[in-house]
Amino acid sequence: MLKDAPKQIVYGAAIESAIDSIQKLLAGNYAVSKKAIAILLLQGDTEIADKVKAREGDHFERITEIISQAQSGYGQELSYVMAMSRQQHARDILAKTVVSQPKIGKGFAERLSRITMHPVTGIPILIAVLYVGLYWFVGVFGAGTLVGLLEENLFQDWLNPLLLDAFEWLIPVDWLRNLFVGEFGIFTMGLTYAFAIILPIVGTFFIVFSIIEDSGYLPRLAMLLDRIFKKIGLSGRAVIPMVLGLGCDTMATIVTRTQETKRERIITTLLLALAIPCSAQLGVILGILSTNGMALLIWIITMLFVLLLIGYLASKVIPGKKTNFYMEIPPLRLPRLSNVLAKTYARLQWYLKEVVPFFVLASFVLWLGDLTGVFDYVIKGLEPIVRGIGLPNETSEVFLIGFFRRDFGAAGLYTMVEDGLIAGVPLVVAAVTLTLFVPCIAQFLVMIKERGKKVALAITAFVFPFAFFVGFLLNTILNALGIKL
């Protein structure tokens, strides 16, 4: 059997001769073929143009001339014309190699896929997913049942008293012993928070998230929410970083790279820093508010309101062009347990590696601050603000540790609720303020890395007072309406 030799793509005659002439003018050394460079130049690749300009000197002007000459022969942009030629070539090859007999009738997966994206059916499905996945599994089971077991039964009743005894015997000096088992002790605060509160919540969240992402639901959610997101200057493309932000805002800030324009990346980074709680925060808040439906509802409405309002305002203020949204929709697939577990494990490992040293360090800093009296000073400074939004004084400690990490602060709030120090309206106000409150240090560092110092600082400078302002407003409104929770 005789086989055809592979055929090259044939562009129009004018383009082909332009490719030839440019190729001949290229004298510099490039990592890919000169033909490829010529083709990219003709398609208006600015990155390549800069490189060629730097290397070819005088010839570059001549190259630009050749390009505009070639362009003048076509009604459309050369990049479009050339893409068409390539597609034609691809079609020719496909015709010789692919036989397609589409199966008749739409399967169950296809129908399910469609209803997840349709506004009328999609929104109830989204609510159901959030209810079962987040509220029930992460909030009630993770933050309620599991944290109860670990924190109260294992750590409070058994492990910490044991450690307390051991350290009393080991270190007879009060102030030094406090470093390990005191109010802000490495064991009694840092590691207890990390393993008894954060771990079960983040763990259950990562399981839910892995199942959702492997099923292919996220791109469909992106399509569903595209229209709403357009109103806040974003496209459906922002859905994935935002949903990922519910897991960890730091991770999500890195993922904003998938967005097309700088404008979108800035808006998403801002919203992630402000209005998207991370899984530990979310779990703790769902856990402590789950016993009070009204309180939870107020928290949800406030967060959604802030998210949409700030997104809307940001899209008005931040200049830049709007983008069109298109995303590949992969088929719905049944998640594989092994992949879900492997991924959850990998994410937990990553999370703990980041969180544990930080919690230990934070315990140390807080212990030092407590010992030297600096801590009291800062707390005293925060107290008027905290009281101003109707919260008990102890909450300032929570804000201070929340400054180190969001999840750390949320865990602090959890223990306050347990001790009966906060409930009702103040609890909702504290939950809202703490959710909006500054991004954690890791997220702040990633913001600097991804968006630059100026943007990162501007966002933080906005978020900090804004969180307290919303808290103040919410407290005033709830009190004026005489709402009791």
**Residue in the block written with tokens 């839910």:** 208
What is the nearest approach in angstroms of other proteins to the Cβ of residue 40?
Answer: 7
| Torsion sign (Cα): 328, 332, 338, 341 | positive
Helices (H), 6-58: 13-25, 34-42, 46-56
Provide the terminal-to-terminal Cα distance of the chain, rounded to the nearest Å: 83
**What is the pattern of x (binds other proteins, CB under 8 A) and - over residues 35-54?**
xx--xx--x-x-xx------
Among 16, 214, 383, 418, the residue binding other proteins under the rule CB under 8 A is 214
Among 129, 327, 378, 457, the residue binding other proteins under the rule CB under 8 A is 327
What is the nearest approach in angstroms of other proteins to the Cβ of residue 75?
Answer: 20
Q: What does the alpha-carbon distance between residue 78 and residue 18 come to, in Å, rounded to a whole number?
A: 11
Residue 32 lies near other proteins (rule: CB under 8 A): yes
Q: Which is nearer to other proteins, 405 or 451 (CB)?
A: 451
Residue 91 lies near other proteins (rule: CB under 8 A): yes
**DSSP code per residue over 256-314:** GGGSSSHHHHHHHHHHHHHT---HHHHHHHHHHHTT-HHHHHHHHHHHHHHHHHHHHHH
Within 8 A by CB and 6+ apart from 403, the residues are: 409, 437, 438
Q: Which is nearer to other proteins, 239 or 362 (CB)?
A: 239
Residue 57 lies near other proteins (rule: CB under 8 A): no
Q: Which is nearer to other proteins, 365 or 445 (CB)?
A: 445
Closest CA to 26 of 68, 58, 69: 58
Question: What is the rounded radius of gyration, in angstroms, for the C-alpha atoms of the chain?
Answer: 28
Residue 272 lies near other proteins (rule: CB under 8 A): no
- With vertex at residue 161, the alpha carbon angle to CA 160 and CA 163, rounded to the nearest 5 degrees, is 60
Residue 58 lies near other proteins (rule: CB under 8 A): no
Among 57, 77, 80, 93, the residue binding other proteins under the rule CB under 8 A is 93
Q: Which is nearer to other proteins, 310 or 347 (CB)?
A: 347
Stretch that binds other proteins, among 89-97, 161-169, 353-361, 427-435 (CB under 8 A): 89-97
What is the nearest approach in angstroms of other proteins to the Cβ of residue 443?
Answer: 16
Helix/strand/coil for 183 = coil
Residue 218 lies near other proteins (rule: CB under 8 A): yes
**What is the pattern of x (binds other proteins, CB under 8 A) and - over residues 404-443?**
----------------------------------------
Among 254, 308, 378, 473, the residue binding other proteins under the rule CB under 8 A is 254
Among 57, 330, 384, 424, the residue binding other proteins under the rule CB under 8 A is 330
Burial class (CB in 10 A: 0-12, 13-18, 19+), 259: buried
Helix/strand/coil for 233 = coil
Q: Angle between the 46-56 and 34-42 helix axes, to the nearest 10 degrees?
A: 120
Residue 94 lies near other proteins (rule: CB under 8 A): yes
C-beta of residue 253 within 8 angstroms of C-beta of residue 269: yes
C-beta of residue 247 within 8 angstroms of C-beta of residue 278: yes
What is the nearest approach in angstroms of other proteins to the Cβ of residue 211?
Answer: 10
Within 8 A by CB and 6+ apart from 53, the residues are: 60
Residue 118 lies near other proteins (rule: CB under 8 A): no
C-beta of residue 430 within 8 angstroms of C-beta of residue 422: yes
Among 128, 301, 337, 346, the residue binding other proteins under the rule CB under 8 A is 346
Residue 258 lies near other proteins (rule: CB under 8 A): yes
Residue 324 lies near other proteins (rule: CB under 8 A): no
Among 331, 384, 388, 424, the residue binding other proteins under the rule CB under 8 A is 331
Q: What does the alpha-carbon distance between residue 187 and residue 439 come to, in Å, rounded to a whole number?
A: 25
Residues in the site for other proteins, rule: CB under 8 A?
Answer: 3-9, 28-33, 35-36, 39-40, 43, 45, 47-48, 55, 79, 83, 86-87, 89-91, 93-94, 96-103, 210, 213-216, 218-219, 240, 254-255, 257-260, 265, 327-328, 330-331, 333, 335-336, 339, 342-343, 346-347
